[in-house]
Structure 1
Amino acid sequence: MHSWYRTRSHPSELTAGFYNTANRDGYEAIAEIFSRNSCKIILPGMDLSEDKPNESRSSPELLLAQIASSCGKHAVQISGENSIVSGTPRGFEQIKKNLVDQNVVDLFTYQRMGAYFFSPEHFPLYTKFIRSLNQANLHSDDLCTEEEETAVSLPGTNLHMQAA
């Protein structure tokens, strides 16, 4: 639906039956119906960004922002999903941006896990991504430097070793 989003008429959405143009918010009525019936909306495309060539005047980020805005006005909870099979670092960063920065997504489901997903080349990227969602990034002042002493606990003993 994000194809041709950067046009006034939004032909992809009109073809699918959404009357969402530059002058009319077609998602407002949908969000209102979802709110009235206590429904949650599921939005795929949390991994899509606008860094690709733009022959189709596509804008997945603007579309997600419009839908999130309409849902926010009507207190509709949003669940997110990824759309693309590959889990690139850029895709993970886009997901994180959509989950953390705006804080509008209630739940996220990572879809389309294949053999490559669990490969030794890819899985560490995924675990790093998940950890980055739950653990705050350390400021450079909090990182250990070469001059600082570090404490190490030795297993099986009650001794601690300090190294300079």
Structure 2
Amino acid sequence: MQLDARIMKLCYDEYLRKCLVKAAEAIGISKWGSPPDGAGSYNDEPEDTDFFCRCGDYNRPYGRFFLNWYSQYLIDHGDRVLAKAKLAFGDTPISVKLPGIYWWYETNSHAAELTAGYYNSVNRDGYAPIASMLKKHEAALNLTCVDLSTVDEQKDFPEAKVDPEGLVCQVLNAAWDAGIPVAGENALPCYDSEEYDKIIEHVKPRNVPAFMRLSAFTYDRLNQDLLEEDNLKEFQLFVKRMHGNFSPSIRYIMLLC
């Protein structure tokens, strides 16, 4: 759960450095053509760094310029990839997986998301631009971590300022606002009813319009433990609950991988 500023290694690629230099020169501030200093290293927490701390450089003019360039470059790359995919696959539905990076979500900077290229912080919604790009290509958004409980995760990792449910809620709202379908999958192995209850709470919330329900769910991390008698019975019940009592326009697809 530590901060890994080296995730920004993309910015140190020879060609990306040139792009950053050009972006800085385009706004007339050539000294901004370098990745940030003071972003810390693998074992640093956000408050231990100059860039990600509460009043850090991430929310100052250079930091905002850099993070906007960094995230937009990745979104533009996704835009180009999806354009090629649509040409190759035609009308075949396409789903784009969005990792659930929920550690440090309760800090101002959301440092883990920033280092991964998601420009999402306490004062900026980083998922709306992604959802808008997916809408352009009529692609679904596939979100991980719909199985996680914030209370449980905070109990296990109190120092990491996690909030997986807050992240799920934000991403779902971005997708609904953009009018794109959402799929989901679990981040960790699931075997008991409490974990399955959390999944169903996100996938099939009660008393909401059909568009606010997930269109598909992937059960990830199939392993030998799942096939043990008690675990398999719980899973069978989960599958029945997922496929029961849903709107005719919604189809729940259980994929084992």
1:2 touches 1:59 (CA, 8 Å); kept in 2?
A: yes
Separation of aligned partners in 1, 2:149 and 2:221: 18
% identical aligned pairs = 27
Runs of 4+ in 1 over 3 A off after TM superposition: none
Q: Classify the secondary structure of the residue corresponding to 2:150.
A: coil
Correspondence for 1:25: 125
RMSD: 1.4
| Larger fraction in helix | 2
**Rg: which structure is higher?**
1
CA shift digits 1:23-60 (9 cap, x unpaired): 11000100000001111111111111112213211000
Contact 2:186 2:219 in 1 (8 A): yes
Match of 1:69 among 164, 173, 176: 173
Q: Is 1:88 aligned with 2:192?
A: yes
Normalised TM-score (structure 1): 0.78
2:140 counterpart of 1:44: no
Which string of whole-angstrom CA distances, capped at 9 and with x for unpartnered residues, describes residues 37-90 of structure 1?
A: 111111111111112213211000010110100010111111111111232221
Q: Which whole-Å CA distance do the structure 1 matches of 2:236 and 2:181 have between them?
A: 26
Q: How does 1:140-151 map to 2 (within 5 A)?
A: none
Aligned residues: 136
User: For 1:94-133, what aligned pairs fall within 5 Å after superposition?
Assistant: 94-101=198-205, 103-133=212-242
Structure 1 residue 12 displacement after superposition: 0.6
Conserved? CA contact 1:4–1:57, under 8 Å: yes
Contact 2:190 2:196 survives alignment (8 Å): no
Corresponding residue to 1:134 among 243, 248, 256: 243
Q: Which has the higher contact order (CA 8 A, sep 6+)?
A: 1
Kindly provide the amino acid, as one letter, of the partner of residue 223 in structure 2.
G
Give distance in 2, aligned partners of 1:75 and 1:86: 30
The structure in which a higher percent of residues are strand is 1
